[in-house]
């Protein structure tokens, strides 16, 4: 089954709409495209101006997918790309998703997940997000994750940052703080690592910053490694390639205790947004300077 959709002055040929991309849930490629078309207004502020990494599943999530950073040669000229230098030399032409037409086009290319960089393309060396990924091993109780997220929130606030929270649609949560872009990745990564290490030192039997899984010993991993040049985090309102069709969902802190990392699904998210505005809609209005936060962290005595 194929058809053409007209969006923002572009004709986009969409195909294989009946193919089941989520076999256990009988959720089709056409429904994936419909999700992104419907959520474009909420999602685009979190995508626009950022280098995009696509996670594509041409045969659905029941088969092997792949991450793609470089825009394919056959992408149409109206899909914006930006050349991103690599630290190792050379460069990658990333897609920048600034409009619904691009979002729908990429969904038709079997992009299920959208991952974005922490620095906008106008200055790739200066991030405007700090992200702590709360990554638990299987079977950790959700209430424990809520507690960890709140502790990360409280420490960030103590440092002068304004923390936001997102259910990742996977097993955990992101605690994110908007930054004023006054510092480079070196400082921001050190700050994020320091926050994670401080939290882990306070509860060493529960939390760890160990990169190697065999060293974690069943503890919750606080991952600060996303705060580096070229790294990404899952974009708000992106689908996740997991059974149940979960969606990465920004939350208010007041509703964290009623949430689960994968509670919101494609079937629920439109109703949620119809009833409640995006909790991250004004995230940039809370941007803080990283350097004073680093100084406050270094001054802590516990």
Q: Domains of the chain: which residue ranges?
A: 2-117, 129-229+285-299
Q: Residue 1's pLDDT is what?
A: 64
**Distance of alpha carbon 42 from alpha carbon 282, whole angstroms:** 12
User: Is the model's pTM score more than 0.85?
Assistant: yes
Q: Buried b vs exposed e over 43-80: b needs ≥16 C-beta within 10 Å?
A: bbebbbbbbbbbbbbbebbeeebeebbebeeebeeebb
Q: CA 289 to CA 160: how far, in whole Å?
A: 8
CA atoms of 125 and 241, how far apart (whole Å): 30
Tokens of 188: 């921001």
Domain 2-117 -> CATH class:
alpha beta
Q: How confident is the model at residue 186, as a pLDDT? A: 98
CA distances from 261 to 66, 104, 172 (A): 23, 26, 5
pLDDT truncated to tens, each residue of the chain (302 aa)? 679 999 999 999 999 999 999 999 999 999 999 999 999 999 999 999 999 999 999 999 999 999 999 999 999 999 999 999 999 999 999 999 999 999 999 999 999 999 999 999 999 999 999 999 999 999 899 999 999 999 999 999 999 999 999 999 999 999 999 999 999 999 999 999 999 999 999 999 999 999 998 899 999 999 999 999 999 999 999 999 999 999 999 999 999 999 999 999 999 999 999 999 999 999 999 999 999 999 999 999 88
129-229+285-299 in CATH: which number? 3.30.70.3300
Q: Same CATH topology for 2-117 and 129-229+285-299?
A: no
Report the alpha-carbon distance of residue 171 to residue 221 in Å, rounded: 11
CA distances from 256 to 43, 219, 221, 260 (A): 20, 21, 19, 8
Angle value at C-alpha 34, between 51 and 36, nearest 5 degrees:
20
């Amino acid at each position: 089954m194929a058809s053409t959709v007209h969006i923002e002055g572009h004709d986009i040929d969409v195909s294989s709409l009946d193919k089941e991309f989520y076999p256990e849930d009988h959720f089709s490629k056409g429904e994936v495209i419909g999700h992104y078309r419907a959520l474009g207004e909420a999602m685009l502020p979190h995508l626009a101006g950022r280098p995009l990494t696509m996670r594509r599943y041409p045969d659905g999530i029941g088969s092997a997918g792949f991450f793609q950073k470089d825009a394919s040669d056959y992408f149409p000229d109206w899909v914006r790309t930006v050349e991103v230098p690599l630290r190792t030399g050379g460069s990658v032409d990333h897609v920048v998703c600034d409009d619904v037409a691009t979002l729908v086009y990429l969904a038709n290319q079997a992009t299920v997940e959208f991952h974005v960089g922490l620095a906008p393309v106008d200055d790739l060396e200066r991030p405007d997000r700090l992200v702590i990924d709360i990554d638990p091993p299987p079977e950790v109780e959700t209430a424990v994750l809520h507690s960890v997220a709140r502790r990360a929130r409280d420490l960030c606030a103590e440092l002068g940052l304004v923390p936001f929270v997102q259910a990742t649609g996977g097993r955990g949560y992101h605690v994110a703080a908007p930054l004023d872009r006054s510092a480079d990745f070196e400082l921001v990564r050190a700050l994020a690592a320091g926050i994670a290490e401080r939290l882990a030192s306070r509860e060493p039997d529960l939390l760890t910053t160990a990169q190697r899984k065999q060293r974690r010993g069943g503890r919750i991993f606080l991952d600060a490694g996303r705060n580096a040049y070229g790294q990404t985090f899952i974009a708000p309102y992106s689908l996740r390639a997991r059974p149940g069709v979960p969606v990465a969902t920004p939350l208010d802190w007041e509703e964290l205790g009623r949430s689960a990392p994968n509670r919101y699904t494609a079937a629920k998210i439109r109703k949620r947004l119809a009833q409640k505005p995006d909790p991250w809609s004004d995230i940039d209005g809370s941007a803080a300077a990283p350097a004073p936060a680093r100084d406050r962290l270094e001054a802590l005595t516990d």
